[in-house]
Structure 1
Amino acid sequence: MTRPIIALDADGVLLDYNLAYADVWERAYGVRPIERDPDAYWAKDRWDVPHLADEALSQFRRFFDEAFWSSLPAMAGAIEACQLLHDAGHELVCVTAMQPQFAQARESNLRKLGFPISRVLATGGDASRGSPKRSALEQIDAQVLVDDYLPFLVGLPEPVHRALIDRNPARSPNRGSERETLSSSHPDLRSFTQWWLSRL
């Protein structure tokens, strides 16, 4: 039996961007930051680092290169969760809001870690006209999107199951009345997978 295509976000769902942020900070400044708040949603709030702006921010962003985007660690339990979904007959596609020039690095990262992902689509992160992932979902006819950022789940066509990974509650953007548009909410991908497969 053919199962629905499941689209999966990368950072915060498959890959641990917040943990990798400490690595890139150490690479840029030679000092590993101290963890300030493990429950923080945003990486800059999790680590005890100064606020960067203007030229300092531009300089730091140069370290978010091919080497960085091809070396993020997996979120706990994410590889096993994907394998279970794959074994159940789902095609898994990574739909990520990163810039398209780094899509190949992201795909390499996922494959090196052993994720059974068929392909990577990079949409960019501009949400000013609604979810930047909508056209990618239509392109692959995905019937599920699993994402950890509420604004990217809002305004999708009604047939798409909109699953929020509601991680790291401190200063989370995943609050407010728009949560009412969600199809489901889960603490991590492993929990989503267990719930989803129990319904089949």
Structure 2
Amino acid sequence: MTSSSLIALDADGVLLDYNLAYASAWEQVFGERPVLRRPDAYWAMDRWGVASLQEEALGRFRASLDAQFWSSIPAIAGALHACEQLCSAGYELVCVSAIKPQFAEARQANLRRLGFPIARVIATSGRAAPGLSPKAQVLAQLQPLAFVDDFLPYFEGVGARIHKALVLREQGGSPNAGPGLKRIDSTHANLAGFARWWLNPYQEEQT
């Protein structure tokens, strides 16, 4: 059975603005801040219109995505207040993030520094069985009331008793389309929208 008070939240795209942090990392490595090309783009590379990196340049950029990077990503507007509202209503929050385990502590420090009332970060990076997202096994153990993510494939294999809430952020090139949407219980523009709807579903229509 589901936990009576637990809500599982994704990090990048739900709590934290990875796309903005991506631009800062690019500037740090290559000395020039990329220009915003497509504000509606889902993926960071498309959003900033940066070149596809190869070999040495790619290695340098990947190396910059270290513990310091993962501990300094800015919050998405309204996400902190949404979490505070959920906690005030009696819910416990846990972050379930597809991040390498060695960066889980940095992610926790990031959330703590920003003031998020989230005591646990669970890293789920790695391969999963066919038909299961990397997060499905952890969610099966946690059995939260709800799971909020902005990446449709991460809902694959998540149990029917868990409310599946998809954040439909920037739609340009978004993977959040197709038959997988049938598995989703509710959709929202952002975490703030989910919190308002979850706490009073009659006040806000789903997106």
Q: Shorter-chain TM-score category?
A: over 0.9
- Tell me, yes or no, if the aligned pair for 1:3 and 1:91 is still in contact at 8 Å: no
Equivalent in the alignment of 2:156: 154
Equivalent in the alignment of 1:92: 93
- Aligned-pair CA distance for 1:59: 2.1
- Tell me, yes or no, if the aligned pair for 2:4 and 2:145 is still in contact at 8 Å: no
- Mapped partners of 1:166, 1:145: distance in 2: 14
- Aligned-pair CA distance for 1:135: 1.6
Q: CA RMSD in A?
A: 1.5
SS of the aligned residue for 1:152 comes to: helix
Equivalent in the alignment of 2:81: 80
Equivalent in the alignment of 1:111: 112
SS of the aligned residue for 2:64 comes to: coil
Measured against aligned partners, the alpha-carbon deviations of 1:102-155 in whole angstroms (never above 9, x if no partner) come to 000000000000000020000005356311111211222212110000000122
TM-score (structure 2 length as normaliser): 0.92
Equivalent in the alignment of 1:33: 34
Pick closer, same or farther for the CA change 1:100–1:29 going to 2, 3 Å: same
Equivalent in the alignment of 1:22: 23
Pick closer, same or farther for the CA change 1:128–1:58 going to 2, 3 Å: farther
Equivalent in the alignment of 2:205: none
- Aligned-pair CA distance for 1:164: 0.2
- Mapped partners of 2:23, 2:126: distance in 1: 22
Among 177, 183, 188, which residue is 2:190 paired with?
188
Q: Which runs of 4+ in 1 moved over 2 A?
A: 53-56, 125-129, 138-141
- Mapped partners of 1:157, 1:23: distance in 2: 37
SS of the aligned residue for 1:62 comes to: helix
- Mapped partners of 1:128, 1:77: distance in 2: 35
Could you tell me which runs of 5 or more consecutive residues in structure 2 were left unpaired when the two chains were aligned: 203-207
Aligned partner of 1:36: which letter?
R
SS of the aligned residue for 1:104 comes to: helix
TM-score (structure 1 length as normaliser): 0.95
How many residue pairs align between the two structures?
199
- Tell me, yes or no, if the aligned pair for 2:42 and 2:169 is still in contact at 8 Å: yes
Q: Is residue 126 of structure 2 the alignment partner of residue 122 of structure 1?
A: no
Aligned partner of 2:186: which letter?
S
- Aligned-pair CA distance for 1:8: 0.2
- Aligned-pair CA distance for 1:195: 0.3
- Mapped partners of 2:4, 2:110: distance in 1: 26
- Sequence identity of aligned pairs in percent? 53
Equivalent in the alignment of 2:55: 54
Alignment of 1:57-72 (within 5 A): 57-72=58-73
Equivalent in the alignment of 1:167: 169
